């Protein structure tokens, strides 16, 4: 068993230190009759050790101290307990005088376990990531001491809510967005003070797109999405350019032009350029380093019906085809082995022209299925279901799942690209349920916590209000999101629903189970779950109407927060079977990972909740290796098309650098009761010598996870 110190450093558990702390408190009591006997001190230590072992994970210093207090009080040694508590309080005041130094120092030395496991796509050992984390620690400190109200900070620290991305809050930055790539490519843009004109070829357009992606990623902290349809017009520009070149070659050779042969040459050369362009995007995206120390969190949207005409649709089909081919192949790691990259994330839209066997573009769907089976992407949006839910529109999510509401310009035309999300605050629903003694009290506490989230969300909004466009020219002045003037404030983009702001929620499964002992898969559980979802939607609608700000409910992609919330719940309420007995809580409305349910039933069940998660959500099914069963993958995709707006298939894609094993790297428990990754072939446990890719929050992670998320991954049941 290990202990996580306040600095974030993880060390071996040492019960002697507990013994010494109790003895110091014991000796400080003047009246010997009020002191604990040595046998009672040992009993307290043994009980504390047992409680720590029962948690089945690394424990924090604060948790150990809480257990010590409880055990001293249980023995009736109140003066000893008072001495112990006073000691804790005095040292807490000393620590509060400087809240960042220890975290930064352990971070620089690579000893901060919390930071190591915070983001599964950041490598905290490299300087660029450390620099970002150092800045983040300062931002969190400033945010905590100056920028946020005390009640919001207190609720965040206690795990009642989660104020996302506080490490960026000190700056005037927003969350995620849909980049208006079409405007930037067609009308030109400016990157780092350099004018970039409309490209004259497809390959150049792809190269410029990657530069835009990197610049945008360095100017905000969330995910971004681009549509490959915005690149499609440049295919024909290249085609016409190549035609002219071929005609000139015929002329130079003094040979009569054979139109059929010339067209064949043109299309062959065009294909090579498309291969080159897509390769540029794939490799530059995974090799570019943004200012936050990681590759850009980018999503590519593959939607045939976004093309403006038949010619453009066929050209877009070629782009999609090559994208899927290259992504299926993967990228080479340091050993030259083809592995699964985390980005770009890909969303493939299922539509009438590609979803059914015999349809014109069904070959693309077959490629998508093969890519999913091997590389875990694409994810799938059903055009049919999305149009039913979004007023006849189909458009991409911003990053992994944040989704816009429909907004129309002065002419009544819907607009999606160039819009963004202001930020997220998540409510821990499980804590609300555990705090309530009956349903009436549940709704009362829920109301109070939602208003606290509302207050925190208004803080996010006010932090952005008054921001001049100069803070991120690529976003606000040069077309990624807007074409504002120098010095102009972004305020008009924060109102009227043009941008969204998200009320996140977590742990609906455990919440319902705590309240009525039913699962979301049971009629009574489903009814209550939907009622809670509707209540949150009604709150967002009320706030939106009163303030003209685009509030929406959002299925939070808990990463490290799932562990944070579970630890907070265990501290406040102990171990409640089926509610707080895991080191994680479920994402949003998801059916619990340990539940036995087939893929189609799960998707059908979760579709009811997804439709109420208006600010974004994604469902998934966990599947085994499907590379030899592509028809089954396609059957799931076709079911998605008919039943749910947005879903994905989770499979495994691992590689052991020690022995070359390419199956599933497994999760086992080591001698310290810690979950670790192990190659089943050679028993390698060195994370630096293995490549593991897993979906955890709607996107693929490749840098490993904290103990809570690792337990969740280990316990996942297959749905197919």
Q: Beta strand 421-428 with 500-506: parallel, antiparallel or unpaired?
A: parallel
Q: Which of 402, 499, 552, 691 is catalytic?
A: 402
Residue 13 and residue 342: Cα distance in Å, rounded?
Answer: 35
Q: Reduced to 3 states, what is the DSSP secondary structure of residue 347?
A: strand
Cα separations in angstroms, 288 against 211, 282, 285, 568, 622: 9, 10, 6, 37, 31
Q: Centre a 10 Å sphere on the Cβ of residue 498 and count the other Cβ atoms it contains.
A: 20
DSSP codes, 146-184 = IIS-HHHHHHHHTTSEEETTTTSTTSS----EE--HHHH
Chain mean position to CA 498: 23
176, 206, 318, 637: which one is catalytic? 176
Q: Is 554 a catalytic residue?
A: yes
Query: Do 608 and 349 contact (CB within 8 A), yes or no?
Result: no
Calculate the alpha carbon distances from 626 to 331, 597, 650 in Å: 20, 18, 10
Show the DSSP H helices in 188-330 as ranges: 202-217, 233-253, 259-287, 310-329
CB 649 within 8 A of CB 638: no
Secondary element (H or E) of residue 542: helix 523-547
- Say whether 698 is catalytic: yes
Tokens of 271: 């294909």
DSSP state for residue 688 in the 8-state scheme: G
The residue from 120, 175, 227, 552 that is catalytic is 175
Block residue for tokens 């932090």: 463
The residue annotated as part of the active site, out of 71, 559, 622, 712, is 559
Q: At what angle do helices 38-55 and 15-27 cross, to 10 degrees?
A: 140
Provide the β-strand partners of residue 119.
none
Token code pair at residue 309:
């005409």
Partner residues linked to 620 by β-bridges = 648
Choosing from 206, 318, 394, 398, which is the catalytic residue? 398
Quick one: angle between helices 599-610 and 523-547, nearest 10? Answer: 30
175 is catalytic: yes
Q: How far is CA 144 from CA 165, 391, 638, in A?
A: 12, 41, 48
Question: How far is residue 572's CA from residue 564's CA, in Å, rounded to a whole number?
Answer: 12
Token duo for residue 298: 């980018």
Per-residue 3-state assignment (H helix, E strand, C coil) for 180-221: CHHHHHHHCEEECCEEECCCCCHHHHHHHHHHHHHHHHCCCC
Phi and psi of 471, rounded to 5°? -70, -25
User: d(Cα 13, Cα 4) in Å, to the nearest integer?
Assistant: 9
Token pair belonging to 629: 């069963």
Closest CA to 107 of 124, 132, 128: 124
89 close to 616: Cβ distance less than 8 angstroms: no
The span from the CA of 716 to the CA of 193, in Å, is 49
Active site residue 69: no
From the list 400, 453, 637, 679, the catalytic residue is 400
36 half-sphere exposure, CB direction, 13 A CA radius: 30
Strand (E) or helix (H) holding 47: helix 38-55
222 is known as an active-site residue: no
- Name the active-site residue from 7, 421, 587, 588: 421
Q: What's the rounded Cα separation, in Å, for the pair 123 and 570?
A: 30
Cis preceding-peptide flag for 378 (omega within 30 of 0) = yes
Note if 263 is an active site residue.
Answer: no
CB atoms within 10 A of CB 40: 18
Other C-beta atoms within 10 Å of 615: how many? Answer: 26
Q: Which of 554, 620, 641, 655 is catalytic?
A: 554
Radius of gyration of the chain (CA): 27
Structure tokens at 43: 């009993």
- The one catalytic residue in 136, 698, 701, 708 is 698
Distance CA 584, CA 589 (A): 14
| Whether 398 is catalytic | yes
Residue 196: C-alpha distances to residues 18, 268, 708, 717 (Å): 64, 29, 46, 50
Catalytically active residues are 175-176, 398, 400, 402, 421, 554, 559, 698
């Amino acid at each position: 068993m290990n202990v996580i110190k306040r600095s974030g450093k993880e060390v071996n558990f040492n019960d002697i230190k507990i013994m010494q702390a109790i003895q110091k408190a014991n000796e400080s009591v003047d009246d010997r009759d009020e002191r604990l006997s040595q046998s009672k001190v040992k009993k307290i230590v043994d009980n504390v050790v047992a409680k720590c072992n029962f948690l089945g994970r690394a424990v924090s210093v604060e948790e150990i101290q809480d257990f010590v207090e409880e055990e001293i009080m249980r023995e009736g040694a109140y003066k000893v307990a008072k001495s112990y508590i006073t000691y804790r309080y005095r040292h807490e005041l000393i620590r509060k005088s400087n809240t960042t130094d220890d975290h930064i120092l352990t971070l620089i030395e690579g000893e901060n376990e919390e930071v190591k496991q915070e983001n599964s796509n950041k490598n905290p050992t490299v300087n660029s990531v450390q620099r970002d984390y150092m800045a983040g620690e300062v931002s969190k400190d400033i945010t905590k001491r100056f920028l946020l109200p005390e009640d919001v900070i207190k609720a965040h620290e206690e795990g009642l809510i989660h104020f996302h991305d506080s490490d960026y809050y000190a700056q005037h930055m927003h969350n995620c967005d849909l980049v208006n790539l079409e405007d930037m490519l067609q009308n030109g843009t400016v990157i780092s003070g350099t004018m970039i004109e409309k490209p004259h070829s497809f390959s150049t357009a792809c190269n410029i797109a990657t530069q835009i992606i990197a610049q945008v990623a360095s100017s905000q902290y969330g995910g971004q999405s681009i549509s490959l349809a915005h690149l499609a017009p440049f295919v024909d520009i290249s085609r016409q350019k190549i035609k002219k070149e071929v005609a000139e070659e015929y002329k130079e050779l003094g040979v009569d032009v054979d139109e059929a042969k010339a067209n064949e040459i043109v299309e062959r050369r065009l294909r090579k350029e498309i291969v080159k362009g897509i390769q540029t995007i794939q490799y530059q995206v995974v090799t570019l380093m943004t200012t936050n120390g990681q590759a850009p969190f980018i999503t590519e949207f593959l939607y045939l019906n976004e093309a403006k005409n038949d010619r453009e649709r066929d050209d877009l089909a070629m782009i999609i085809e090559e994208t899927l081919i290259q992504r299926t192949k993967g990228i080479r790691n340091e050993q030259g082995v083809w592995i699964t990259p985390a980005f770009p994330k890909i969303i493939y839209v299922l539509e009438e022209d590609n979803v059914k066997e015999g349809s014109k573009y069904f070959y693309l769907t077959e490629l998508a299925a093969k890519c999913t089976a091997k590389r875990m992407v694409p994810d799938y949006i059903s055009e049919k279901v999305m149009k039913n839910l979004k007023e006849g529109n189909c458009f991409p999510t911003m990053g992994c799942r944040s989704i816009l509401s429909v907004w129309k310009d002065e002419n009544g035309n819907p607009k999606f690209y160039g819009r963004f999300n202001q930020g997220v605050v998540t409510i821990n629903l499980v804590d609300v349920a555990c705090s309530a003694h009956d349903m009436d009290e549940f709704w009362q506490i829920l109301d109070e916590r939602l208003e606290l989230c509302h207050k925190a969300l208004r803080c996010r909004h006010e932090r952005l209000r008054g921001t001049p466009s100069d803070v991120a020219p690529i976003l606000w002045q040069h077309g990624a999101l807007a074409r504002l003037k120098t010095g102009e404030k972004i305020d008009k983009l924060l109102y009227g629903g043009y941008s969204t702001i998200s009320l996140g929620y977590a742990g609906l499964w455990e919440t319902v189970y705590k309240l009525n002992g039913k699962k979301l898969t049971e009629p009574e559980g489903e009814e209550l779950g939907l009622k809670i979802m509707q209540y949150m939607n009604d709150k967002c609608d009320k706030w939106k109407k009163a303030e003209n700000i685009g509030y929406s409910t959002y299925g939070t992609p808990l990463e490290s927060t799932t562990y944070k919330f579970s630890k907070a719940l265990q501290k406040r309420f102990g171990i409640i079977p089926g509610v707080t007995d895991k080191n994680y809580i479920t994402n949003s409305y998801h059916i619990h990972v340990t539940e036995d349910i087939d893929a189609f039933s799960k998707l059908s069940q979760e579709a009811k909740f997804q439709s109420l998660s208006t600010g974004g959500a994604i469902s998934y099914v966990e599947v085994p290796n499907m590379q030899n069963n592509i028809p089954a993958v396609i059957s799931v995709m076709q079911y998605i098309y008919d039943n749910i707006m947005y879903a994905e298939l989770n499979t495994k894609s691992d590689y052991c650098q020690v022995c070359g094993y390419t199956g599933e790297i497994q999760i086992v428990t080591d001698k310290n009761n810690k979950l670790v990754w192990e190659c089943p072939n050679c028993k390698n446990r060195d994370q630096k010598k293995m490549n593991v890719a897993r979906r955890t929050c709607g996107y693929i992670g490749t840098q490993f996870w904290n103990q809570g998320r690792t337990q969740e991954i280990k316990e996942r049941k297959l749905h197919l």
